[in-house]
Amino acid sequence: METLKDIEDFIDVTKKRIALFESKLKEHESGVSRMSAMAKASSETKLDEMLNLLQSYEAKRDELVKIDSEVLKKIEDEARLQELKIYALNQKKRILSNIEISDEIKKEILKTLDELPSNIIFRDEELIDLAEKSLQLNLREVDEHLKTIKKIKIDFDGLFKNIDTSDIKEIDFLNNQILVLTLQFHTFVENLNEAYKDENKKFAGLPKYEDWWIDEMWFSHLAYFSLLKWKKIIKKFCLTKLQKKSWNIIFANWVSIKDVVNGFGEKGYEYQFAFDSLILKYAQLNEELVDKNLENIEKFMTQETKKEDFSIKYAKHNRTTSYLLYKRERLKGLS
């Protein structure tokens, strides 16, 4: 009875027995098939027992589903981490043997790999793109870019060094993803700033997001569509196809990391706060913390999403998540 399939089988059998007792009692009430007082009382008692049993089985099933998904996720994360380590180990060999890359690009990639901190891992295509851009820049700009990478690593170490992550098995993989995302996010925002300057305009910065969008995105239609709407708003700031492509990748990576860290619950609040602080510093992306603004943004998002589907009815939810309360207190302590 400890496997999910066993529980599902018991639920199925119990539902059938409940239907049988309900049918008997219904026939008795309608006069189709009368039962004795003792038989009726026995059926009612059995029905109550079956309903309680069903509730117990369903609770057990939900628990097993959660455990199975958590175990599966850990296995997948550990597999990804191992795959990433092997990927990084063979990276130089792959780059050197790639006949489609010019010697100049290869030389620039190898130089970048030597400059990168050991736990920041880029995909081959990202390194090629980075090398091509570096060759287009002057030496001062290349130097500034490498300095930024090192600064991010120093700030990362400072923010995360005292956080207990012993319970997080995929922590190395997650740390690497955060470092790469921070650099990508920083480069994206800096690129927008420069592009707007070239157009004699001023980039106003990224709009704030709300924590409950992440917290409820898997079961709230409004949370999911609010995230997509927020993504579209930022995409409108992009002036080139490359910027739009970059934003699609950054958004997917950011949501993925936020979702994973959010899944740690209260024990991950400190880690999540450090991650948010790093992104705030290098991409100026901030979370909305003011209740009135949270309410106004939700009203706007509700109106926007209902334009797409007037049949949507939104269930009540909690704008003020427990992590939001934690974050407010942390920021008070820093001010």
| Confidence at residue 311, expressed as pLDDT on a 0 to 100 scale | 44
Q: What's the token pair of residue 120?
A: 């920041």
Q: What is the mean pLDDT of the chain?
A: 80
Greater pLDDT, 276 or 110:
276
Q: Are 327 and 287 in contact (CB under 8 A)?
A: yes
> Please, which pLDDT band fits residue 44 given cuts at 50, 70 and 90?
confident
Predicted confidence (pLDDT) at residue 231 exceeds the cutoff of 90: yes
Greater pLDDT, 216 or 303:
216
Greater pLDDT, 212 or 115:
212
> Please, which pLDDT band fits residue 279 given cuts at 50, 70 and 90?
very high
DSSP string computed for 192-223: HHHHHHHTT-----PPPB-HHHHHTTTT-HHH
Distance between CA atoms of 308 and 130, rounded to whole angstroms? 39
Place of tokens 């009692």: 25
Distance between CA atoms of 92 and 56, rounded to whole angstroms? 56
Q: Which of 185, 200, 198, 191 has its CA nearest to residue 241? A: 191
Using one digit for the tens of pLDDT, what is the confidence trace for 137-174? 544 455 677 788 889 989 999 998 888 887 776 788 78
Counting residues of the chain whose pLDDT is more than 70, the rounded percentage is 81
3-class secondary-structure state, position 287: strand
Predicted confidence (pLDDT) at residue 255 exceeds the cutoff of 60: yes
Using one digit for the tens of pLDDT, what is the confidence trace for 17-26? 788 878 878 8
| Confidence at residue 238, expressed as pLDDT on a 0 to 100 scale | 92
Distance between CA atoms of 223 and 229, rounded to whole angstroms? 10
Q: Which residues contact 167 (CB under 8 A, 6 or more apart)?
A: 267
The number of angstroms, rounded, from the C-alpha of 18 to the middle of its chain's C-alpha atoms is 40
| Confidence at residue 138, expressed as pLDDT on a 0 to 100 scale | 47
Using one digit for the tens of pLDDT, what is the confidence trace for 81-115? 677 778 788 888 998 998 888 888 888 888 878 77
| Confidence at residue 2, expressed as pLDDT on a 0 to 100 scale | 44
> Please, which pLDDT band fits residue 293 given cuts at 50, 70 and 90?
confident
| Confidence at residue 10, expressed as pLDDT on a 0 to 100 scale | 72
> Please, which pLDDT band fits residue 310 given cuts at 50, 70 and 90?
very low
Greater pLDDT, 99 or 313:
99
| Confidence at residue 273, expressed as pLDDT on a 0 to 100 scale | 94
Q: Are 263 and 272 in contact (CB under 8 A)?
A: no
Q: Are 207 and 230 in contact (CB under 8 A)?
A: yes
Looking at residues 113-140, what average pLDDT do you find? 69
3-class secondary-structure state, position 320: coil
| Confidence at residue 309, expressed as pLDDT on a 0 to 100 scale | 52
Q: Which of 83, 154, 159, 156 has its CA nearest to residue 123? A: 83
> Please, which pLDDT band fits residue 136 given cuts at 50, 70 and 90?
low
Q: Are 148 and 183 in contact (CB under 8 A)?
A: yes
- DSSP β-bridge partners for residue 158: none
| Confidence at residue 129, expressed as pLDDT on a 0 to 100 scale | 74
Distance between CA atoms of 105 and 167, rounded to whole angstroms? 41
